[in-house]
Amino acid sequence: MNADVFETLQVPAEPDGVAPDGAEVRVLLALAGGSMAEFSLQPDQTSIAVRHLSVEELWYVLDGTGEMWRSSTDGTESVVELTPGTCVSIPVGTTFQFRSLESGLRAVGVTMPPWPVDRIEAVRVEPSQWQATLAEGPGLGPAE
């Protein structure tokens, strides 16, 4: 078998950029069915509330503490504590927002299908659960 079919990546020390919700992002690997990235917030930061148009995500918390608010299209809402070892789902169309507490927060997210780089995928949603402390990142669509 040709070893060139496999990819290996060390997580970069510095963020690659900013996610649409304002979180720091380190882009990891992707395959046809999904992509992976690491998201982080510094202590006491709150993301912008967003909704994805066509992707769903699974997040796994690596370090720190925080909270995530999720709201479904049928009106179901939930706020969950984020601590190392917590895994959360973000189905397509879910509004969500997350924040770090006194420590920073770091999570890895798997996006299915892979995050689209050629169009707007995340849109701002108002009202949000908490007051955002971050500025929006590139690629965020207008508020709904």
Euclidean distance between CA atoms 99 and 122, whole angstroms: 17
Predicted pLDDT at 20 = 96
β-strands 122-124, 95-112 pairing: unpaired
Euclidean distance between CA atoms 84 and 89, whole angstroms: 15
Q: Is 59 helix (H, G, I), strand (E, B) or coil?
A: strand
Other CB atoms within 10 Å distance of the CB of residue 25? 20
**8-17 exposure pattern, b = at least 16 Cβ within 10 A, e = fewer:** eeeeeeeeee
β-strands 56-71, 77-82 pairing: antiparallel
Instruction: Compute the average pLDDT of residues 112-128.
Output: 94
pLDDT tens per residue across span 4-20? 789 999 999 999 999 99
Domains held by the chain: number: 1
Domain contains 44: yes
For residue 116, how many C-alpha atoms fall within 13 Å in the half-sphere facing its CB?
12
Report the CATH number that the domain containing residue 60 is assigned in CATH. 2.60.120.10
Place of tokens 């060390």: 10
pLDDT tens per residue across span 14-60? 999 999 999 999 999 999 999 999 999 999 999 999 999 999 999 99
Instruction: Compute the average pLDDT of residues 88-95.
Output: 97
pLDDT tens per residue across span 56-87? 999 999 999 999 999 998 999 999 999 999 99
Domain contains 34: yes
Banded pLDDT at 133 (limits 50, 70, 90): very high
Instruction: Compute the average pLDDT of residues 89-108.
Output: 96
Predicted pLDDT at 1 = 56
Domain contains 83: yes
Question: In which domain, by residue range, is 116 found?
Answer: 14-128
| Contact partners, residue 131, CB within 8 Å, separation at least 6 | 46
Euclidean distance between CA atoms 140 and 23, whole angstroms: 12
